[in-house]
Structure 1
Amino acid sequence: MLRPCRHGAAKYGIDPGLWQSHMCGLCLGLRDGGGQLARAATNTDAIVLSLLTEAQADTPAPRRTAGPCPLRGMRTARVPVGASAPVRLAATASLLLGSAKVQDHIDDGDTRPRLHRPMRRVATNWSAGAYAHAAEIGLDIGPLVATIEAQAGTERRIAAAPGPSGSSDLDELTVASRRCAAEFFAHTAVLAGRPDNAGPLRAAGAEFGRIAHLADALTDYAADAAADRFNPLTATATPPAAAYDLVRESDRSLRESLRTAGLTRVPALRWALLDPLATALRRLGAVVAAPAGASIRPTAGARNSTDRDAPPRRPGAGESIQLILTQYCTGYACCADHTNPCSGEQRKSWTSRGCNCSNCCDCAGCCSDCGGCCGGDGCCCGCCDCSC
């Protein structure tokens, strides 16, 4: 959901490589703690935890030089050390949420039965890794895991006996998201030595969790209805417009909480958290305002243009494995194969038109006439949401 625009960093006087630096630190920290496959759990939204911790600390996290990587155009980079507190916190969140998401795909029947065992093994290993990272930074995630595990039962109960529109069931369905995000946000203050910020950040995190949950529900609303899948809005008879109002309310509350903590004027947080949230809300507004049946580009990820109106289907074996490997897009999946999400055009090299693809997020510029923001050469690489 959070995709800071590389070209928006200049107005804040920020190094545009800051976000990528923290993402690479997280990716390598996951590798060092859990092996190569753990890197697939990299959660781009979790990077804000690393940035938030560093923004409150007196000194930035120690850096090291990372080796060449294809996602950086085979260049080295200075990244936060994997053993640093900001990276461990982001790694804990990534592994915990990645484990829950993989298990959710199994429970929902999105994968073939023969893949359940290897996928459960991945989920178990990621969960164990989350516990290990959390122990290193003094965070007790046991209650969070219990809340996540109770989510499936809550969904089954509400789906079996849906309440009337406006019931408290929707709040109950977002408990896991709100509680997890609240504790992770609050722990950034603990790690940064700013305990006074823990309360406001816990409140901000709870609102962020609700935004993330409802944004996912709004984005998938039509597809879930077509596939007869569980959706929090359908199960609670909540109209999309009402859910969007709740998202806007949470956004206002989140900003007020950050203002209480004195963090709304921190350039890195405005660039990496507040501006992307504003962009996400605009996109959700387009989803809500679109006529029924219209094809609206989702807030995260990208699909080939020829697949946008195709009916939902059960993924094959190769696609099911990919659910694990790309569960949380590292930010480059949309252009790793150089596919324009609008035209379907594929480019042949990593540096097409002399443009390095190391900072391509969701290539929205391809759809939003963002050529001026991205240099005017028609290349979407490096252009994230380009809200310019």
Structure 2
Amino acid sequence: MFGIVRPCRHGMCGGLFKEWMAHLCGLCLALRDEHGHASRLVTNYDGLLVSVLTEAQAAESSPHRRAAACALRGFKGADVVEAEGVRLAAAVSLILAAGKIRDHVADGDGVYARRPVAAVAERVAARWSTAGSGTAVAVGFDPEILVRAVEEQTRLEGVPGLRLLELTGPTEAAVAAAFGHTALLADKPHNRESLEEAGRHFGRLAHLLDAVEDLAGDRAAGAYNPLVASGTDLAAARRHCDDALLGLRLAVAELDLERRTLVRALLIKEIGRSVTRAFDMAEAAGGTRTGAESSKKRGREHPKAPHRDPRLKPDPGGLLSVMCAAMACCTCGLYRPPWDEDRYKSCGERCDASGCDACGQCGDCGNCCDCDCCSCDCCDCSCDC
């Protein structure tokens, strides 16, 4: 729901997490102020990277303001980013969310197979696409780049026999364009080439990890998945992800940044964790092959599924499921429905499950947040690095 970058307050220094939250709250408020409360449903973590990159290149390009109290912050005020980078993040989030909704409608996924739901979803997608395009134009970004990428992605999914990296191409192009535009917003045009390269690698990772996470479910439902469509197994997909991680790391190293720490924490550390988490979960679910061949044909059984908490209720589907998903999105994951596997886990348990160096296990701050300003026994330190 929120993307592949999923930072946790236990996984980074207190100062870094505060910076991250300033961008997250800034995006949420920008969506509300320009497009209404309903548009806050498209708030996602990956889109925030364009705001982070804009501020990292030139701090003066991202002014902050004091926001009023919010229930999601314990009815406290907060320092939030109010800049063109946040507006670009809002535009990208709206346009891509609209494209995803249309894709679900076209495929007839879940509740979208019902005509009344599909009709409402189409209207919402059209409204979000128009709103996002308007905001994109206002910050000097051509929205047609994203619209065409979404359309091309849909077209490629109907073409048989394509290789995996051909299928990820439209996503790579869309993210590259958004990342590259932050160089213009920050008045650092010499960064544009490296930012576009970073965007291509990040777009590839986002597409592949989404496919890996959905692999078991897509197989069971007979839905489209790029790994199955291209005949790619998890080992090959992991190699592509590792190559993209290396390319991303090299591209970030070439950037002229005034503030590098948060960018490194998100684009290198957190994405590396996401890769590990996605493939560990896929292998635990028995997704070690693509195509029709089963594990029995290879002489072994699927690994057992992780233990299910007996307190979890079954997902009822239908309107209630959609409403609960919307509630989880509106609260940035603070609310979790009774059938969510993370509902009864503490933050520390969720971090441990995702491979996070959390809850006092990281050793020292330099290993977990790439700073050298302190030496502590927990990532949640008070240094403002």
TM-score normalized with structure 1 length: 0.78
CA contact (8 A) 1:244 1:284 kept: no
CA contact (8 A) 2:180 2:192 kept: yes
SS in 2 for 1:100: helix
CA contact (8 A) 2:248 2:267 kept: no
User: Residues of 2 paired with 1:48 and 1:201: CA distance?
Assistant: 11
Q: Does 2:350 align with 1:363?
A: yes
User: Residues of 2 paired with 1:23 and 1:186: CA distance?
Assistant: 20
Which residue matches 1:377?
none
Aligned AA (1:2)? V
Aligned AA (1:89)? L
Which residue matches 1:372?
360
Q: Does 2:201 align with 1:207?
A: yes
Which residue matches 1:380?
none
User: Residues of 1 paired with 2:76 and 2:247: CA distance?
Assistant: 40
CA contact (8 A) 1:287 1:296 kept: no
Cα distance change of structure 1 residues 337 and 64 upon mapping to structure 2, 3 Å threshold? same
Out of 212, 215, 231, the residue aligned to residue 221 of structure 1 is 215
Q: Does 2:87 align with 1:88?
A: yes
Cα distance change of structure 1 residues 19 and 339 upon mapping to structure 2, 3 Å threshold? farther
Cα distance change of structure 1 residues 342 and 38 upon mapping to structure 2, 3 Å threshold? closer
Deviations 1:74-129 (A, max 9, x none): 11111112xx2111111011101111111122112122221111111111111011
Aligned AA (2:129)? S
Which residue matches 2:242?
248
CA contact (8 A) 2:9 2:17 kept: yes
- Greater shift, 258-267 or 13-22, is seen at 258-267
Q: CA deviation at 1:296?
A: 6.9
Q: CA deviation at 1:284?
A: 2.8
SS in 2 for 1:6: coil
Which residue matches 1:75?
76
Which residue matches 1:151?
153
User: What's the % identity of the aligned pairs?
Assistant: 35
Aligned AA (1:332)? C
User: Residues of 2 paired with 1:117 and 1:219: CA distance?
Assistant: 28
Which residue matches 1:332?
332
Structure 1 stretches of 4+ with a deviation exceeding 4 A read: 262-265, 293-297, 304-310, 337-344, 365-371
Which blocks of at least 5 consecutive residues in structure 2 are unaligned? 287-301, 363-378
Q: CA deviation at 1:368?
A: 6.6
Q: Does 2:252 align with 1:258?
A: yes
CA contact (8 A) 2:153 2:171 kept: no
Q: CA deviation at 1:240?
A: 1.3
Deviations 1:226-278 (A, max 9, x none): 11110001011111110111011011011111112245981111122211011
Q: Does 2:171 align with 1:177?
A: yes
TM-score normalized with structure 2 length: 0.79
- Greater shift, 259-268 or 216-225, is seen at 259-268
Which residue matches 1:125?
127
CA contact (8 A) 1:339 1:346 kept: no
User: Residues of 2 paired with 1:387 and 1:341: CA distance?
Assistant: 26
Deviations 1:187-213 (A, max 9, x none): 111110110110011011011001000
Number of aligned positions between the proteins: 342
SS in 2 for 1:157: coil
User: Residues of 1 paired with 2:345 and 2:276: CA distance?
Assistant: 28
Which residue matches 1:18?
19
